[in-house]
Amino acid sequence: MKALIDAEIIVPEQARVGNAVGALVGKGIKRIEIIIRPSSMENPDQNFLVFTPVGRKKFEQYRTAVEYSHKTGEELILNSMKDFGLPEGSIKIGTSVEYLSPPGWKQTPMETKIIFVGICTPGISLN
């Protein structure tokens, strides 16, 4: 390492286990956005497109698109975090929703963005 950079490198005695301990007690965070839009602005109350990290899907009703989005977002967060070896019981998922519609718009939103944030704190004691 010293040959690559012109600096003195000091390695703590317990450096080999430092990263392992940090991984065990640290937080895992995953963020996913899902967007819902009408497939046509000429008829914005029918046929909706849902854009997820795994692809696009079409729904006839807005309510069905929203339900699918919530279910899919939570599944994607859980699966992703479990793939990293994080325990499912310590994963908390927060959800926020943003609507985009011009003033006076009476139809379903022109865009609905649902943001999912999964946070995992394994809570392992080092005593």
β-strand partners of 38: 48
Name the E strands within the chain: 28-38, 48-52, 55-59, 91-100, 111-120
For the chain, what percent of residues have pLDDT higher than 70?
A: 76
Contact by Cβ (8 Å): 87, 121: no
User: What tens digit of pLDDT does each residue of 101-114 get?
Assistant: 999 988 999 999 99
Q: How many residues does the chain have?
A: 127
Cα separation, 17 vs 5, in Å, equals 24
In this predicted structure, what is the pLDDT of residue 28? 78
Cα separation, 3 vs 13, in Å, equals 21
Contact by Cβ (8 Å): 30, 117: yes
Tokens at 46, concatenated: 């029918």
Cα separation, 119 vs 18, in Å, equals 22
User: What tens digit of pLDDT does each residue of 57-95 get?
Assistant: 999 999 999 999 999 999 999 988 887 777 778 889 999
Its pTM stands at: 0.73
Cα separation, 124 vs 115, in Å, equals 28
